[in-house]
Amino acid sequence: MDFVEILQHHILDHRLVKLFTLGSTPVYLTLHGLMMWIAGMLLLIALLVARRQSGIVNHGWANFFEVFIVYIRDEIVRPNLGESGDRYLSYFLTLFFFILICNLLGLVPFGATATGNISVTAAMALTTFLMINISGVRELGFVHYLQTFIPHGLPFWLVPLMFVIEILGLFTKSFALCIRLFANMIAGHIVVLAFLCLIFIFKSILIAPISVGAAVGLGLLELFVAFLQAYVFTLLTAVFVGGAVNPQH
């Protein structure tokens, strides 16, 4: 068993079953797709139960979700989007919980990290990109939204350059969101696998306490990083959407 083979087996996506054919391309259900479905179903069940247990006084699961929901509303959405930002609250809550559960599913046995696939994070960065632009155009109107790309108080000969740089910045922000989440999730798994493969490279059981200890420690770090990266993705999306909806003059 090669280290590269072990990495490929644990980190890359695998096709499980063929679903249907779209024109001439077959569409497969892959491992990461299955993990995303499981995350969606878990969230659906847990949130339906929480909704039934909620009310004037929350019981059980509603209490648990209320911590996260109130934190996202009061610390992430309202400071960046203002009081009228409650319209976008459902998008941010969905984003946060989906990324969180996908990250955490990579830490249980027989689970894989769906957000460790660059296609998944690229799709989420694409939805954030669309969110930023659509909300900006809806709030400000198309022409006025384009005018926000020109910073205030510039000499006129700098305006074309700054406009291009700001447009590039728009793409860079979404690309950075994609890469940040993907690399954080993948790096943890690669390092844990590298430590565990040390046992097979050295072909001795004596390295096992160090390897397993390091794997446990890194697993705890990965748990922290899972929560932190979900929070950071949601926070940065809120900051960017807030910057597009009410730009500072």
- Contacts with another protein by CB under 8 A lie at 75, 176-177, 179-180, 183-184, 187, 228, 231-232, 235-236, 239
The contacts found for 116-119 with CB under 8 angstroms, 24 or more apart, are 116/11, 116/32, 116/182, 116/185, 116/186, 116/189, 117/13, 117/32, 117/182, 118/178, 118/182
Q: How far is the CB of 186 from another protein (least distance, A)?
A: 9
For residues 177 and 226, which CB has a smaller minimum distance to another protein in the complex?
Answer: 177
For residues 160 and 169, which CB has a smaller minimum distance to another protein in the complex?
Answer: 169
For residues 70 and 228, which CB has a smaller minimum distance to another protein in the complex?
Answer: 228
For residues 26 and 169, which CB has a smaller minimum distance to another protein in the complex?
Answer: 169
Interacting residues of 159 by C-beta distance below 8 A, sequence separation 6+: 150
For residues 146 and 190, which CB has a smaller minimum distance to another protein in the complex?
Answer: 190
Q: How far is the CB of 182 from another protein (least distance, A)?
A: 8
Q: How far is the CB of 187 from another protein (least distance, A)?
A: 7
Query: Is 193 buried (19+), middle (13-18) or exposed (0-12) by CB count in 10 A?
Result: middle
* Cα 229 → chain centroid: 7
Q: Which of 17, 20, 43 is nearest to 30 (CA)?
A: 17
Q: Which of 137, 129, 141, 145 is nearest to 247 (CA)?
A: 145
Q: How far is the CB of 249 from another protein (least distance, A)?
A: 22
For residues 34 and 179, which CB has a smaller minimum distance to another protein in the complex?
Answer: 179
144 by DSSP, 3-state: which? helix
Q: How far is the CB of 56 from another protein (least distance, A)?
A: 28
Q: How far is the CB of 243 from another protein (least distance, A)?
A: 12
Query: Is 215 buried (19+), middle (13-18) or exposed (0-12) by CB count in 10 A?
Result: middle
